[in-house]
Structure 1
Amino acid sequence: MNTTDSEVFVDTKFLLHRVKFSILLILQIPAFILSLLIFFFFIKHRTIREAPHNRALLILLIVNFIQLLFAIPLSLSFYAVGYVSPATPTFCTWWTFFDFTLYVTSEYLMATISVQRHMLVFNGHILRIRWKRILFHHLPLVFCLTYPITFYVFVIILYPCEGAPWDYGSNLCGAADCYLVFNKFLGTFDWGFNNGLPMVINALANIMLIVRVVQQKKRQQRPVTWKQQRRMTVQLFCISSLYLVIWSPSLIVGLVQILGFPTFLADVQTEYFVFILDTICLFLPWICIGLLPELLVWIKTLCRCQQRHNAVGSVITRTQLNK
């Protein structure tokens, strides 16, 4: 590569980083505001907050909010300067640990929400029994929060390895943790069990929920129309498709790399697919609005009250001026 080609490559990469920085920042601001509105909504409405079907959702939103506050700013910092800072193995180790843990926790929580919804819709009486509520509702949530932390402490923080091939010119240091680069079994297990499995469960659970609802309505001899099922179908499709669409390219490329082709689409993985993963937490608050119809009503009420307050203030101001 001659000097001209090198300059063009650097300019192109700089422009690409500028675009990514702008996209993340533009999406982060409304996602942050919307998350705060959702939290205020839960605080104001105790009954809704303590409803069984909203507990896991609230935990998911808290994890997502942590990503918005800490994980996204790290990516923004990288795209702003064009390199990892500080460029040290310790920083890369903790950055990947933090990101991977939040990613997997979010995936497992979403999959758990989808599975638990079957029980809440068709067997809601189960949660009235204390030991069943603990077994089928509380323990899965505890697993979602503790398993990812435990797993990545062992494979990232405590994994015995020296000379990890960190790439300080790539976001997330190129995700070059030793267990992914040098341990085929752990790498495959991570991508398959920690990322692929919850995504598949999420998609299948939502599809099966639609099938069960339709079948139950048919057994009850009630007419099933697309208008009646549209809202539920769109909600479930958005939940499953968000993770399916965004995670699938990265999962496929990662598995191919682990199974013997470490350079397969390596640049595309680090430059594009890792970046796309960051958008999950930016879009998730918008999807959660569809899961909380009461929230939409509350937001609309706030907007009307604000408009009335502004209108009253304007009238008072004009009256004072006329005097």
Structure 2
Amino acid sequence: MDMKTFEDSKFVLHRTKFFILITLQIPAIIISLLIFAFFIKHRTTLNALQNQALLILLIVTFVELVADLPMPINYYYLGYVSPATPSYCNWWTFFEYSIHLISELLMATISIQRHALIFSPNIFQSRLNLYVLYYAPLAICVTYPFIFYFIIILIAPCDGTQWDFTSNMCGYANCYLLYDKFLGMFDWAANNGSPVVVIMLANLALVIRVIRHKRRQQGGYSWKKQRRMTVQLVLISSLYLFAWLPSLTIGVTQIMNSPIFLANIQTDYTLDFMYLISLLSPWIYIKLLPDFKRWILKKVRRDELTRNTVRPT
């Protein structure tokens, strides 16, 4: 494709997305860095297992903010993929699919583990259970997507003629999505669909269990702690459900029924919802970490006092 004569038929839409992404990306990066600084200054905060899981999620979303989002931002600024090469499209889709799936699998695993943290916290007092039931599942969530997409995207690519350099993510034209119905369905339904179902059901079950437990306990400190941990999970998981459900519904329908089903809606809008996870989750973490808010307020007040202090001459 001759980029010199290329005209962006969706210039307004692309520039709007560019400014939205840039506007949300910069503060998200700043907040993420502040949260990292908070964890470094307050290492004891990581003694709570739920905070360790949140830190892992934050690291994944931060990697997306600084390493993955610049690629769609560059596309929406130019209106075309640059560099327009098959190798770049292979790398872009491999990296973005992996990061998105890692984040989704982590959220599903955390949703299940939160039940144990709230109702059976003693189960993790055993070192064996801690590594087998807590850390090992999180490690699998991080490694499996890279291995899976490395095999089906980088090891066995097509000849490269299928890519669309005028569309975001090169038209999502990976070989397995175009020519292998089984792999395409497995990726959409099993890899991406089942974690969404787990997130939805696990959170619904958690809310029901906490409400029932509250009625039995009639308040108390344990209820306040359970409520706080439940609210944490529901807030962050709601973002995942909003980001994934529309595109998953359309994607599975396209593979099972018609490839053109809501195709324009999918490529122009719903697939971009996934970027909201990394862009908005740092703001949610502020709500999830009350000590972080107090730390920031204390530093701001200290700086104000320093500036306003009148020194004698």
2:95 matched to which residue of 1?
Answer: 98
**2:175 counterpart of 1:206:** no
Cα deviation per residue 1:245-298 (whole Å; 9 max; x = unaligned)?
A: 121111111112211411222222222122222121000111122221111111
Q: Tell me, yes or no, if the aligned pair for 1:159 and 1:179 is still in contact at 8 Å.
A: no
| 1-structure distance, mates of 2:51, 2:103 | 15
| 2-structure distance, mates of 1:199, 1:62 | 20
Q: Tell me, yes or no, if the aligned pair for 2:61 and 2:103 is still in contact at 8 Å.
A: yes
Q: Which secondary structure state, in structure 1, belongs to the residue aligned with residue 69 of structure 2? A: helix
Q: Which secondary structure state, in structure 2, belongs to the residue aligned with residue 83 of structure 1? A: coil
Q: Tell me, yes or no, if the aligned pair for 2:8 and 2:79 is still in contact at 8 Å.
A: no
Cα deviation per residue 1:178-204 (whole Å; 9 max; x = unaligned)?
A: 101111111111111111111121122
- The one of 137, 150, 153 equivalent to 2:150 is 153
The 1:130–1:229 alpha-carbon spacing in structure 2 relative to 1, beyond 3 Å, is closer
Q: Mean Cα displacement is larger for which, 12-21 or 73-82?
A: 12-21
1:264 matched to which residue of 2?
Answer: 261
- The one of 133, 138, 148 equivalent to 2:130 is 133
| 2-structure distance, mates of 1:13, 1:117 | 44
| 1-structure distance, mates of 2:161, 2:290 | 48
Give 5+ residue unaligned stretches, structure 2. Answer: 1-6
2:165 matched to which residue of 1?
Answer: 168
Q: Which secondary structure state, in structure 2, belongs to the residue aligned with residue 200 of structure 1? A: helix
Equivalent residues in 2 for 1:41-60, closer than 5 Å: 41-60=38-57
Shift of residue 12, structure 1, vs aligned partner = 5.9
Equivalent residues in 2 for 1:1-323, closer than 5 Å: 13-159=10-156, 161-163=158-160, 165-222=162-219, 235-312=232-309, 315-316=310-311
Shift of residue 122, structure 1, vs aligned partner = 1.1
Q: Tell me, yes or no, if the aligned pair for 1:31 and 1:285 is still in contact at 8 Å.
A: yes
Shift of residue 233, structure 1, vs aligned partner = 6.1
| 2-structure distance, mates of 1:165, 1:278 | 24
Q: Tell me, yes or no, if the aligned pair for 2:232 and 2:288 is still in contact at 8 Å.
A: yes
| 2-structure distance, mates of 1:49, 1:235 | 16
| 2-structure distance, mates of 1:150, 1:12 | 37
Q: Tell me, yes or no, if the aligned pair for 2:81 and 2:168 is still in contact at 8 Å.
A: yes
| 2-structure distance, mates of 1:200, 1:70 | 28
The 1:229–1:124 alpha-carbon spacing in structure 2 relative to 1, beyond 3 Å, is closer
Q: Tell me, yes or no, if the aligned pair for 1:84 and 1:169 is still in contact at 8 Å.
A: yes
In structure 2, give the amino acid aligned to 1:255.
V
| 1-structure distance, mates of 2:270, 2:217 | 46
In structure 1, give the amino acid aligned to 2:104.
E
Q: Tell me, yes or no, if the aligned pair for 2:93 and 2:169 is still in contact at 8 Å.
A: yes
Shift of residue 49, structure 1, vs aligned partner = 2.0
In structure 1, give the amino acid aligned to 2:124.
L
| 2-structure distance, mates of 1:29, 1:250 | 25
In structure 1, give the amino acid aligned to 2:167.
S
The 1:66–1:309 alpha-carbon spacing in structure 2 relative to 1, beyond 3 Å, is same
Q: Tell me, yes or no, if the aligned pair for 1:107 and 1:199 is still in contact at 8 Å.
A: yes
Q: Which secondary structure state, in structure 2, belongs to the residue aligned with residue 162 of structure 1? A: coil
Q: Tell me, yes or no, if the aligned pair for 2:68 and 2:96 is still in contact at 8 Å.
A: yes
Shift of residue 39, structure 1, vs aligned partner = 0.2
The 1:11–1:163 alpha-carbon spacing in structure 2 relative to 1, beyond 3 Å, is closer
Shift of residue 75, structure 1, vs aligned partner = 1.0
The 1:222–1:70 alpha-carbon spacing in structure 2 relative to 1, beyond 3 Å, is closer
Give 5+ residue unaligned stretches, structure 1. Answer: 1-9
Q: Tell me, yes or no, if the aligned pair for 1:239 and 1:287 is still in contact at 8 Å.
A: yes
The 1:58–1:271 alpha-carbon spacing in structure 2 relative to 1, beyond 3 Å, is same
Percent of residue pairs bearing the same amino acid type: 52
